[in-house]
Structure 1
Amino acid sequence: MSDPYSPDNVGRTDVPEAAIRAAADRLVEATREVRPCAPVRDLIGPDDLAAAYAVQSHLVAARRDAGALVVGRKIGATSLAVQQQLGVDQPDFGWLFDDMDLSGADEVPMARLLQPKAEAEVAFVLGADLDEGPLDAAQVRGAVDHAVAALEIVDSRIAGWDISFGDTVADNASSGLYVLGTERRTLDEVEPVDVTMRMTIDGEEVSTGNGAACLGDPLNALAWLARAARAYGEPLRAGQVVLSGALGPMRDVSPGATVVAEISGLGSVTARFSG
């Protein structure tokens, strides 16, 4: 498979602009009405990533026009199991906006979600831009100000999570909300590849994993994202949050649930969902 994130491939699609706009309109309406919609692959195809990212760009523009501020990115499909499920050999990315951050909130409002799932991740907060240079392992490590434990509440506007890779990319990488932990650690204090994770829902263990489950190392995921973001014309910037990808299987969340993720070296993070 050629790399759709290389500068030579970015934006190359044979899908008509009218179809891309129709797909974006379908997803925007699903978000506005809080009601799942049909997949958009009938409009843009199941694996045309240039078309899917073009749809995503329309959604991002709509959010910005409505006053939302970009605060970072999320990386999806970082585990081998998810890649095999979707028939791909690479991750994808979506955008984080200021109103998606529920860190410190008393509860996560279910009314904002359609069909949520929770996954535990290492989040990075950047202390430097990642817009120039080789964007290799050493550079991205040096750009990290600190890491924290995170819960990403992934969600899909596509009914029944009936998604192809193109569907999830178009749908802002199936993003929802997120919660960050309070224990900040520099990369001198914690090595992301070495962390272990345990996630519970209402006290029952539902997911376990480790740093190596995320593209072999969460820092590999960050380096991949830095190159992809630059190729798409909006590099990662200092102060932004990056959700680096799941450390273990994601799980469905029901109203009233309490989700807790414990990540070694980074402490714990809790999300309580409204009833």
Structure 2
Amino acid sequence: MNYEEIAKKLLESELAGTPIAPLTEKYPGLSIEDAYRIQLAGVNMKLSQGRKVIGKKIGLTSRGMQKLLGVNEPDYGHLLDDMLVLEGDTLKRSDLIAPKVEGELAFVLKDTLRGPGVTIADVYRATEGIFPSFEIVDSRIEDWKIKLPDTISDNASSARLVLGSRMASIKDIDLKLIGMMYEKNGEMVNSGVGAEVWGNPAAAVAWLANKLSTFDIALEKGEIILSGAFTAAEKAEAGDVFTVSFYGLGSVSIKFI
């Protein structure tokens, strides 16, 4: 199996805005390890083009999504500099294939976290602060017909991230109990609490640090870590406006044009 060749097809799909057939159909033996190797090959291609890794994202943190895909742990992807959208900017729907929007907490690290053996306490000590955020996920796989190796290969379906304008100390907030209200076009469509995210968003960050150690990758000082969605994602079309508000932390909004 040629990891670079598969990664190139995914990158071409992203650039063209044209999805491809599921990888797991073409490569029935595609394993989780193969998928992460494809993801890393794709990231290295982007780095060779002058892009920069600014963080990592954690996906599949809810038990419901894990059950849907038949897995018992989250997955992860890389965040690159051209994915970052500032609050107040707009997003062109036509730049993406089939975007969905998730409300999450973003951790900003003041110290490096390198597994194995990273604990929730280590995450608290290493975190500079947290932001309300959106992750916009998008699949280069046609019609979101994904199995776990498909989404991992596709950089965990990463597309964009939006950070709010206020950073809060992690010590001031109970991450398990913090509530989130999710609005689409001015109407509340969902709500959730931090415990939906792997029991505690900080636990998801610890999991990621330990998982990445198997690839000799660390969560680096200054990186942004998206810890996982509080609720189900919402589809986005041109004209849609999304807002998530976190109790005691503030809100963030994004508009698609």
Determine the structure 2 residue equivalent to 1:154: 137
Runs of 4+, deviation exceeding 4 Å: none
Determine the structure 2 residue equivalent to 1:267: 250
Determine the structure 1 residue equivalent to 2:119: 136
The secondary structure found in structure 1 opposite 2:105 is strand
Determine the structure 1 residue equivalent to 2:31: 48
Distance 1:148 1:177 in 2: 15
Determine the structure 1 residue equivalent to 2:212: 229
The secondary structure found in structure 2 opposite 1:147 is strand
Distance 2:76 2:129 in 1: 21
For residues 182-217 of structure 1, give each alpha carbon's deviation from its aligned partner in whole angstroms, at most 9, with x where no partner exists.
111111211211111111110122221110000000
How far has the Cα of 1:39 moved from its partner?
Answer: 0.9
Structure-2 change in CA distance of 1:97 and 1:105 (3 Å):
farther
Determine the structure 2 residue equivalent to 1:69: 52
For residues 92-146 of structure 1, give each alpha carbon's deviation from its aligned partner in whole angstroms, at most 9, with x where no partner exists.
0000001111023420122321100001001100010112673111111100000
- In the alignment, which of 186, 201, 219 is matched to residue 203 of structure 1? 186
Residues 4-15 of structure 1: pairs in structure 2 closer than 5 A: none
What amino acid is aligned across from residue 139 of structure 1 in structure 2?
Answer: D
| 1:257 corresponds to 2:213 | no
How far has the Cα of 1:263 moved from its partner?
Answer: 1.1
| 1:218 corresponds to 2:188 | no
Distance 1:98 1:142 in 2: 25
**Does the 8 A contact of 2:87 with 2:254 survive in 1?**
no
Distance 2:227 2:34 in 1: 24
Distance 1:182 1:155 in 2: 24
The secondary structure found in structure 1 opposite 2:85 is coil
Distance 2:5 2:24 in 1: 11
When the two chains are superposed, the root-mean-square deviation of aligned CA atoms in Å is: 1.4
| 1:109 corresponds to 2:92 | yes
Aligned residue pairs total 257
The secondary structure found in structure 1 opposite 2:171 is coil
Determine the structure 1 residue equivalent to 2:76: 93
**Identity between Structure 1 and Structure 2 (%):** 35
What amino acid is aligned across from residue 270 of structure 1 in structure 2?
Answer: S
**Does the 8 A contact of 1:47 with 1:165 survive in 2?**
no
Normalised TM-score (structure 1): 0.90
| 1:23 corresponds to 2:6 | yes
Structure 2, unaligned runs of 5 or more:
none
What amino acid is aligned across from residue 121 of structure 1 in structure 2?
Answer: E
Distance 1:101 1:191 in 2: 27
| 1:170 corresponds to 2:153 | yes
The secondary structure found in structure 2 opposite 1:194 is coil
The secondary structure found in structure 1 opposite 2:117 is coil
**Does the 8 A contact of 2:129 with 2:170 survive in 1?**
yes
Structure 1, unaligned runs of 5 or more:
1-15
How far has the Cα of 1:42 moved from its partner?
Answer: 2.9
How far has the Cα of 1:28 moved from its partner?
Answer: 1.4
